[in-house]
Amino acid sequence: MFKVWIDAGHGGKDPGAVANGIQEKDIVLNVSIGIKNRLEADYEKVQVLLSRSTDVFLELRDRTAKANAAGADILVSIHCNAGGGKGGFESFRYTSASENSIKLQDKLHKAIMGKLGGIDRGQKAQNLHMVRESKMPAVLTENLFVDVVDDADRLKQASVIDAIIDGHVQGIAAYLGLVQKTKEDKPLSQRDINVPSKWAEVTWEEVTANGYFDGTRPGAMITREETAIVTNRLRKNFLKLIAGINGNVADMDERLKKIEKEN
Ligand SMILES: [Zn+2]
């Protein structure tokens, strides 16, 4: 079981950067909780521990002390930026970072940029407490600028927060070599029954277009009655095929019954 430490920057009396109606502490908390939920739901053998899961203040030394004591395999500290020209994304490792910290930064940075797009400010090194005092490979991400209007507008969109979460999840999974859970492993209670599984998408669309299913609730359990309806649609189509009937005919049912008796 891998232990991933996610550190949401700031909190409580320390809002972090504040501008354009955004507080950094709120964005990074949402992102951190999103990373935990998605990593644990989608990947095998990974546990995500959080510096904070609510709006509380924590000293920097307490954050790294807890992560070190927990024996986390990696640490990612989540922040939003301020005070920099045109905005964009950048990431930080320690100035004399380990090989693994450099590798973690590279995987994270590329995965996040891939999802987020926009300005890439680069993979940087700086003497920051969170990446210096963490005993495990550690990276700090600066996810857009709250004081750049374009970036702030993006941070207000759920799809952008989602992209930031997704990028972190993919980067962490790539670094640790995590195995994705197959959809079948997910209990029915944890999946959205209205969304078809990735592997079933094409078939579901085809079978719906051909009128065997009505297209609703792809992930729901099937009853004997529903099986009967689908079987009956199949049976009618076979009979039509045998009779050489194309399209809808007014007396279809009668004709099919006749064919059925004859065969
Ligand atoms: Zn910050």
Would residue 142 show up in a list of annotated catalytic residues for this protein? yes
- State pLDDT tens for residues 59-107: 999 999 999 999 999 999 999 999 978 999 999 999 999 999 999 999 9
Give the side-chain half-sphere CA count within 13 A for 129: 10
pTM to 2 decimal places: 0.71
What's the gap in Å between 253 CA and the centre of ligand 1?
A: 70
Q: Under a CB-based contact definition with an 8 Å cutoff, are residues 40 and 3 in contact?
A: no
Distance CA 105, CA 100 (A): 8
Where is pLDDT greater, at 54 or 211?
A: 54
Domain boundaries, the chain: 2-176, 190-262
What's the gap in Å between 76 CA and the centre of ligand 1?
A: 13
For residue 153, is it left (φ>0), alpha (ψ between -120 and 50) or beta? Answer: alpha
Distance CA 175, CA 250 (A): 62
What's the gap in Å between 184 CA and the centre of ligand 1?
A: 39
Distance CA 103, CA 107 (A): 6
What's the gap in Å between 15 CA and the centre of ligand 1?
A: 9
Give the pLDDT score at 51.
97
* CATH code at 2-176: 3.40.630.40
Give the pLDDT score at 257.
76
- State pLDDT tens for residues 175-199: 999 999 886 656 666 788 888 888 8
Share of the chain above pLDDT 70, in %: 95
Q: Under a CB-based contact definition with an 8 Å cutoff, are residues 3 and 21 in contact?
A: no
What's the gap in Å between 40 CA and the centre of ligand 1?
A: 25
- State pLDDT tens for residues 30-54: 999 999 999 999 999 999 999 999 9
* Segment 160-184 mean pLDDT: 93
Q: Which residue has the tokens 């990593």?
A: 39
**Candidates 24, 40, 142, 262; catalytic one:** 142
What's the gap in Å between 139 CA and the centre of ligand 1?
A: 13
Tokens of 162: 């989602």
